[in-house]
Structures are given as structure tokens and as C-alpha cells.
Amino acid sequence: MPAKDVFGRAFPVILLTAVVAICVSLLTYVGSITLPRIEALEVQKIQGMLSGMFPDMSRYTFEDEIYAIYSDEVRIGYAFVAVGKGYGGAINILVGLEDEATIKGITVISHTETPGLGSRITEDLFTGQFVRLSVDDAALRRDGGQIDAITGATISSRAVADAVRITAMEKVKVLEDSEEGG
Amino acid sequence: MGKFAQEFAKGLIITNPVLVLLLGLCPALAVSTSIDNALGMTLAVLIVLLGSNIIIAAMRNFVPSITRIPIFIVIIATLVTVVNLLFHAYLPDLHETLGIYLPLVVVNCIVLGRAEAFASKNPVVRSIADALGMTVGFMLALLMISLIRQMLGTGEMSVFGVHFFSLPVLSSRPVAIFILPPGGFLVIGLLLGLFKWTGVLKR
Amino acid sequence: MDGGAQEMNELIVIFLSMALINNFILVRYLGLCPFLGVSKELGPAVSMGIAVTFVMIIASLATWLINHYILIPFDIQYMYIIVFILVIASLVQVIELFIKKTNIALYSAFGIYLPLITTNCAVLGVTIINMMGSYTLLESLVAALGGGLGFTLVLAIMAGIREKLELADTPRAMKGAPIALITATLLGLAFFGFVGIV
């Protein structure tokens, strides 16, 4: 006798529930395999960016959302993730600091800006401007800083510059507080 | 075998999902800025469409029509999530460039359209042929569009990092509008016109 | 700039970006099926646009709550595709029933478009954009409103142009979808002008 007749009128509901249950368990299984790998890839990506920014890096620690970069047990800088609000949503930026007042460099981790316009914030021509820049000067020229905005992408450029400056100031404060405390 | 080949072949040109049925235009335009992206999207559509056609064809005799659509949506969404996770874990670069268009395969009219119009009424083997034909048709359309857009928009002919040749003039002064959104509309509009025109000629 | 003004500014940027600069149809290519299907006459185009905007706002609210109170706490955010599409599908059903029962005039005006909206990629698109952009609830709602109005605007402009195109001497092969897409090209180029407004 077909399954349909055994369950009668409840069959559509039972079938739908069964399909959902099977699908969710399948997803849980696939998730358990892929999610650790996705996280590992994220860590690897950040690691690669850090060593690109600090070529002398031998190891790093991660505490209070701040990466402390060491070369042969000597601390050579800090790095952290800043989040800017661009056109298309969040722009995640890895910011490196040489010391409390100077930027070592920035790398855009991810963004969803318009291809060809806002997406140019990832280009060296733009990010290169931040290298060895004082934290206070990380703002667009029209806002009183040292950064030239990308033509046609002022909002994206400003989102990056402001996120870098504001987050750097916050993190420097955290660092100073923890040094006073310790 | 004749039937299998027939079901497969119809998706290529006669009922090409993109150029004739106008289905799946959204991914066809969004990811056709480069050949790499076009092939990546094709892979995603292949897995999802093949999976959903097989499962839905296998279930066709006992799925009540009242819950038909919700069941199809759940199955398709599951397959898309699986593809999304696998791409994220094993093809992270592709996952990033496809962006929101990868999860949006779930509302790709080709997938739900084939489930409803074909797989829910036909046996598994023919549904496989249908899925393969539709995917190849989708791929052909995407390759055509992305080839034109990449060549004119960047002046470079390269696939998966392998560089084949650069076009003179265009590689130093590419017509960037072709890889920007309006260029997509232009290319597909002209291609559709061309397809219709050749159809007009035949008659 | 003080906090309130900064926040207001961010909301305005999100609104303009969703409505004009990253227009759903012309830049993100989302919602192309209704764009080609119902943009032939002005009346239906506007009704469809309003229906989509309405569903986008409700869907953004629902998916934001589900994302923040279910998916994130239980650490199952990776299941968002299946959850969001089911939420949108059921929402559309509920809205359709509600309008049918309460306001028959409204139902006959845009009720027929509601079933089409489930598979409209613009609606699922806006919920995914909200999630990936880590928008707050208010920002999500503004994004949905902006996206929906931008969608309606382009649908309406397109309908206006196509009503005139009907009378134009278009080459036979270009009639219908091809000429609509070429028109979209020109509209898209025009919309590029909005990039500079903020």
C-alpha cells in the first residue's frame, strides 16, 4: 500500500516535515565539515595579510581584538580590524600600526562596494597613501586630512579613512590603558 | 538513448534558458564580467539543478500537489546552501567574487522552473538529461556574454590565471563600460536581438 | 559631527545608495523578471513596485529579527538561505490572504503580483544584503525602503519609455526584450550620474 494512503490526509504535512528534517540534518552535517575549514581559511588570510604588512614578523598574539606583532621577541607593531560603512555595506579593513601614532599600512579584507568604482579602495594606489601616515592625518583632504579620495567613490574612500582613524584612536587608547594597568 | 540526447540538446539552442526563455538573466548579467566567474556560476547551477531535478523526479509520484512548491523550495535551498558552504571552504576566491549571486541561485528561475515544468512530470533519467542540457545552454549563453564583456572591457584573454593573449589597443585602453552594469545590458540586448534576427532569417 | 547627525547621515547614504547608486535593477541586476514582464504599462508597473517595496520592508524586519534572535544565538547562520526563502514565501502568503480578506480593491490592484514576488530575487537580495552589511534594524528598514523605491522608480521610468516605444519603428528582431535591455543600458548610464551626489 502506498505511503500516501497509510497516513491519509496528514500525508502532505508529514512529508513536508520529513523533507525539512532530512534537509536540516544534511546541512548540519555539511556545516560540521566545512565551517571549521572556513574559519581556518579566515585565520590564514589574516595571517598572510599580517606578514605582508610586517615582513619581519616571526609571531603574533591576539588579545582584546588587537594583534601584537613580534620579530624575535621584540614588538614591532600592532594590527586590528576596522569596519567602515560604505555604499554596499560593511568594509572590513586590516590596519597595521608601527607605533601609537603612525600607520604601518592597511589592507581591505572584504567589501561589497560597486565594482569598478568603490571597489578601487582595494588598489595600492589608494591603500598606499596610508603607509607611514600619522593616525590624525587619516582623513580625506576635504575633511582636513592627507588622503586623496578615489574619483567617483568619495563615500567609499571616506568610509575607509574614517574607520581607520577612529578605530586606531580607540585601539591606541585600549593599548595605553592596558599598559598603565600592567 | 535517442530520447536522452533529445532532452539534452533542446536546452542548448531551441529552448536555451537564457537567450530564448529569458530565465536566469540576473546571474547571467551579474557574473558575466569575466569568463572565470561565468564558469564558476555554471558549476554552482550544475550542482543545484542536477541535484534538484534528480530528487524531484524521484519523488514525483508521491509529492501531493498542495505542498509541492514548499517542498521544491526547501530542497533547492538546501542544495544551494551546500554549494555555498563547499565553495566558501574549498573555492574561497570564487565564493567571494560571486558574492550574493551565489545564494541567489535559490531564486534562479531556471532551477525552480525546471523542477516545476519538467522534473515533477518526468522520470529521473530524462530529468538528468534536461538538467545537463539546460546547464550547458546556460553555460553557452554565459560564455558568449562574458567573452565579449571581458575582451572589450579588459582587452585581455585569460582564464583561471592563464593568460592567452592581449588585444592590441584595447588592453591599454579598455572600454571599461563593458564590465560595468550597463555594458551587461547592452551585450545581452544585442545578443537577444541577434538570436531573434537569425530566427527571422530562417522563417 | 555629533552622533545623531552622523547616524542620520549614514541612513541617508544607505537610502540613496540602495535607491539610486546601487539600483536593484540597473546596477545589481536583481528583479529583472518583473522588469521585463510588467514594465509595459505604467499602472501595473507602479503597483508591482509598491507591492515589492512593501514585501521588502516586512521581509527585512522579519529576517533581521530571525537572524539576530535565532540564527546568531544558535550559531546556525549558515542556514540563512533556507530560512530566509521560507520566511519570504510564507510572508507573501500571509500578506496575500490578509489583503484579500480586508481590502478587496487593494487586492485587485496588486494582489495578482504577490505570488510572483516569492521568487523575485530583489526581495531575497535585500535581506541578504542587510545581513552581509551587518546593518542595524533601522538601517535594514531604510535599505529596504530605498531599494524598493529605486526599483519602483526604474520600473515606472521603463514603463513610460516602453509605452512610447510601442509606437516607434523598432527593427523586428529588436522588438520586445532586446530593445528593453538596450533601453536599460541607456538608463543605467544615466544613473551613473548619481554616483557623484554624495
**What does the pLDDT read at residue A60?**
86
C94 — pLDDT class (breaks 50, 70, 90): confident
**Residue from B109, B190, B34, B15 nearest C181 by CA:** B190
Contact at CB, A4 and B62, closer than 8 angstroms:
yes
**Residue from C79, A37, A41, C125 nearest B81 by CA:** C79
State the Cα–Cα distance between residues C188 and B180, nearest whole angstrom: 10
Residues C37-64 have a mean pLDDT of 86
Q: What are phi and psi of B15, to 5 degrees?
A: -120, 45
Q: Which residues of B135-153 are buried (b: 16+ CB within 10 A; e: fewer)?
A: bbbbbbbbebbbbbbbbbb
**What does the pLDDT read at residue A4?**
57
Question: pLDDT tens digits, residue range C123-143?
Answer: 999 999 899 888 889 999 999
Residue C51: all three cell numbers together: 507591492
**Considering CB atoms only, which of C129, C196, C198 is closest to A89?**
C129
Number of domains within chain B: 1
% of chain B beyond a pLDDT of 70: 98
Q: Which of B:9-38 have CB within 8 Å of A?
A: 33
Residue C69: all three cell numbers together: 534572535
- Interface confidence, given as ipTM, is 0.85
Amino acid at A67: Y
Residue found by looking up cell 555629533 in the block:
C2
State the Cα–Cα distance between residues A57 and A50, nearest whole angstrom: 8
In sequence order, the β-bridge partners of residue A40 are none
* Residue C63 and residue C91 in contact, taking contact as beta carbons nearer than 8 Å: no
Provide DSSP, A70-122.
EETTEEEEEEEEEEEE-SSSEEEEEEEESSSSBEEEEEEEE--PPTTTGGGGG
Print the domain residue range for B8: 2-202
Which candidate in C32, C76, C161 is best for mutational testing of the B interface (most B CBs within 10 A)?
C32
CA distance A1 to chain C (A): 32
Assign residue B58 a region: left if phi > 0, alpha if psi is -120 to 50, beta otherwise? Answer: alpha
Neighbours, chain C (3 or more CB pairs < 8 A): A, B
Contact at CB, C79 and A27, closer than 8 angstroms:
yes
Residue found by looking up cell 600592567 in the block:
A182
* Residue A69 and residue A88 in contact, taking contact as beta carbons nearer than 8 Å: no
The secondary structure of residue B116, as a DSSP letter, is I
State the Cα–Cα distance between residues C184 and B157, nearest whole angstrom: 27
Residue B195: all three cell numbers together: 538570436
Is residue C4 exposed (0-12), middle (13-18) or buried (19+ Cβ within 10 Å)? exposed
Q: With an 8 Å Cβ cutoff, is C7 touching chain A?
A: no
Q: With an 8 Å Cβ cutoff, is C198 touching chain A?
A: yes
CA dihedral B69, B71, B77, B78 (to 10 degrees): -170
Question: pLDDT tens digits, residue range B15-25?
Answer: 788 887 778 88
Q: With an 8 Å Cβ cutoff, is B21 touching chain C?
A: no
Q: With an 8 Å Cβ cutoff, is B176 touching chain A?
A: yes
**What does the pLDDT read at residue B1?**
53
Residues C40-59 have a mean pLDDT of 86
Neighbours, chain B (3 or more CB pairs < 8 A): A, C
**What does the pLDDT read at residue C56?**
93
**CB contact set of C107 (below 8 Å; sequence gap of 6+):** C96, C99, C100
State the Cα–Cα distance between residues A146 and A138, nearest whole angstrom: 6
Q: Which residues of chain A have a CB within 8 Å of the CB of C195?
A: 114, 117, 152-153
State the Cα–Cα distance between residues A59 and A71, nearest whole angstrom: 7
CA distance A113 to chain C (A): 9
C198 pLDDT more than 60: no
Q: What are phi and psi of B196, to 5 degrees?
A: -65, -40
In chain A the first and final C-alpha atoms are separated, in Å, by 76
**What does the pLDDT read at residue B38?**
93
* Residue C168 and residue C150 in contact, taking contact as beta carbons nearer than 8 Å: no
Residue found by looking up cell 595579510 in the block:
A49
Q: Which of B:56-85 have CB within 8 Å of A?
A: 62-64, 66-67, 70-71, 74-75, 77-78, 81-82, 85
State the Cα–Cα distance between residues A14 and B87, nearest whole angstrom: 32
Neighbour count for residue C6 (Cβ, 10 Å): 11
Question: pLDDT tens digits, residue range B100-146?
Answer: 899 999 988 888 888 888 899 999 999 999 999 999 999 999 999 99
Residue found by looking up cell 523533507 in the block:
A19
Is residue B70 exposed (0-12), middle (13-18) or buried (19+ Cβ within 10 Å)? middle
**What does the pLDDT read at residue A5?**
63
Question: pLDDT tens digits, residue range B38-75?
Answer: 999 999 999 999 999 999 999 988 888 888 888 999 99
Q: Which residues of chain A fall short of a pLDDT of 50?
A: 182
pLDDT, mean over chain C: 85
In sequence order, the β-bridge partners of residue B157 are B165
**Residue from A112, A106, A126, A122 nearest A167 by CA:** A106
State the Cα–Cα distance between residues C100 and C103, nearest whole angstrom: 6
Q: With an 8 Å Cβ cutoff, is C75 touching chain A?
A: no
Displacement of CA B52 from its chain's centroid (Å): 15
**What does the pLDDT read at residue A116?**
65
Q: Which residue of A lies nearest to C131 if distances are taken between CA atoms?
A: A89
**What does the pLDDT read at residue A181?**
57
Q: Which residues of chain B have a CB within 8 Å of the CB of A23?
A: 74-75, 77-78
% of chain C beyond a pLDDT of 70: 94
pLDDT, mean over chain B: 86
- Chain A, chain C: beta-carbon pairs less than 8 Å apart: 45
Q: Which residues of chain B have a CB within 8 Å of the CB of A3?
A: 62
Residues C39-46 have a mean pLDDT of 79
* Residue C57 and residue C145 in contact, taking contact as beta carbons nearer than 8 Å: yes
B203 — pLDDT class (breaks 50, 70, 90): very low
Residue A120: all three cell numbers together: 578601487
B86 pLDDT more than 60: yes
Contact at CB, A12 and B64, closer than 8 angstroms:
yes
**Considering CB atoms only, which of A12, A31, A41 is closest to B85?**
A31
**What does the pLDDT read at residue B169?**
77
Q: What are phi and psi of A94, to 5 degrees?
A: -90, 120
* Residue A112 and residue A136 in contact, taking contact as beta carbons nearer than 8 Å: no
CA dihedral C116, C117, C121, C122 (to 10 degrees): 140
Neighbour order of strands in the sheet with A103-110: A59-63, A66-71, A74-85, A90-97, A103-110
Assign residue A38 a region: left if phi > 0, alpha if psi is -120 to 50, beta otherwise? Answer: alpha
Q: Which residues of chain A have a CB within 8 Å of the CB of B75?
A: 19, 23
State the Cα–Cα distance between residues A86 and C14, nearest whole angstrom: 8
Which helix (H) or strand (E) covers residue C145, if one does?
A: helix C137-165
Residues C33-49 have a mean pLDDT of 78
Question: pLDDT tens digits, residue range C52-67?
Answer: 899 999 999 999 999 9
Question: pLDDT tens digits, residue range A151-167?
Answer: 877 888 988 999 999 99
Assign residue A116 a region: left if phi > 0, alpha if psi is -120 to 50, beta otherwise? Answer: left
